[in-house]
Amino acid sequence: MKVALGSDHRGFEAKQQIRVIATELGHECIDFGTDDNNPVDYPDLAYQVARAVSMKEADRAVLICATGIGMCMAANKVHGVRAALCHDELTAQISRDHNDANVLCLSAEQLGAIVLRKMLEVWLNTEFSGGRHERRVRKILAIEEGHDPREVRNG
């Protein structure tokens, strides 16, 4: 799987760890930066990475900033992106299994190396289960298209 990576300066070190973990798990990483600890604006990186997912240049992506909040907000503005801010293995697993998240947003300040590894493993290895969740994801897509999600029916 191709995994796009991006971080601001506060997430740079965590992004380096994530690249190693994802590569060890057999994934190809596309690193959009940043390349050091010098200050950058997280929306710039979030846009580039989310666009790579939207344009099918990457299958999934991981974004990291101090809290993950800014990256998540910015990434979710890109058409076709379902970014999820996750804090533990359960939220990482559910974001894929139930919500078909294609961008994982993480806090560089709140996650240690062990939790980071476990979350990434779970997120990259969990597939979307579909079923009753399929309708709900279609409702999210309807909202993105400017439609009332209540108009989405089964099937």
Q: Which residues are catalytic?
A: 65, 98
Residue 129: CB atoms within 10 Å: 12
Contacts of 102 (CB under 8 A, 6+ apart): 53, 59, 60, 61, 80, 81, 82, 83
Q: What is the DSSP letter of 3?
A: E
CA dist 121 and 109 (Å) reads 19
Q: Which long-range contacts (CB under 8 A, 24 or more apart) does 84-91 make?
A: 86/119, 86/123, 87/111, 88/115, 88/119, 89/115, 89/118, 89/119, 89/122
User: What is the token pair recorded at 64?
Assistant: 């990291």
CA dist 12 and 16 (Å) reads 6
